[in-house]
Amino acid sequence: MASDFAELERGAAAVYGDVSGVWAMILFGRPTKPDMLLARPALAAMSKRAPRGFATLTWVLPEAGLSMDEDARKAAAGVTSEFGAAIRAQATLIELGGFQGATVRAIVAGLDMMSRSSCPKRTFGNLAPALEWCVTHREDPSVTPAVDAMCRTLEGVRASLRTTGRAGRA
């Protein structure tokens, strides 16, 4: 695991952590209700680390697929709403190329606009722009971490998921 990534929780399809004050969830398998419920202790831990709030990054790897069961979706929505006051911004990174990726990102962005969230939401196709946006919504935006270092850290986490055989498991 990358040294600048504080792992907060890990499930069969998701890993949660803190990278330079940004809460990150990396989905590397089809999300289940138990995986989504692990967000609760991870968000609670992040709330203690950043008591004035934090940005979140949800990174959906291709191995995670593009669907989620209804019970997992409800669990994710419920946990997110519990921590709504602490979440300053929500970035979603959908790693999928071509027309299909652009279409999925457009649908997610449209749903986010209709959600009338209390915080800004944005959808991305690449890691660096997603992190750049997240750091502007951190607890103290005057102390800006190096986005390139954050990218290397999260790419390292991603690589470790693949090398340990954890990526792609459902």
Total of domains in the chain: 1
From start to end of the chain, where are the E strands? 5-10, 14-19, 22-27, 54-60, 87-94, 121-124
Domain membership of residue 97 (yes or no) is yes
Return the percentage of the chain with pLDDT > 90, whole number.
61
pLDDT at residue 116, as a whole number: 66
Question: Which tokens go with 159?
Answer: 């690589």
CB atoms within 10 A of CB 81: 12
Domain membership of residue 170 (yes or no) is no
Indicate whether 157 pLDDT > 60.
Answer: yes
Q: Which domain holds residue 121?
A: 5-163
pLDDT at residue 109, as a whole number: 66
Angstrom CA distances, 15 to 57, 100, 115, 125, 170, stand at 12, 25, 25, 19, 13
Question: Which tokens go with 30?
Answer: 């089809």
Domain membership of residue 93 (yes or no) is yes
pLDDT by residue (tens digit) across 19-59? Answer: 999 999 999 999 999 999 999 999 999 999 999 999 999 99
Return the percentage of the chain with pLDDT > 70, whole number.
84
- Give the span between the Cα atoms of 107 and 3, in whole angstroms: 35
**Residues 144-153, mean pLDDT to the nearest whole number:** 88
Domain membership of residue 108 (yes or no) is yes
The pTM of this model reads 0.86
Which run of H or of E encompasses 163?
A: helix 147-163
Residue 3 confidence class, pLDDT cut points 50, 70, 90: low
Q: Specify the range with the lowest mean pLDDT, choosing from 2-11, 15-24, 71-80, 102-111.
A: 102-111
Domain membership of residue 169 (yes or no) is no
Question: Which tokens go with 118?
Answer: 């209390």
- Give the span between the Cα atoms of 31 and 57, in whole angstroms: 16
> Taking all residues of the chain, what is their mean pLDDT, rounded to a whole number?
86
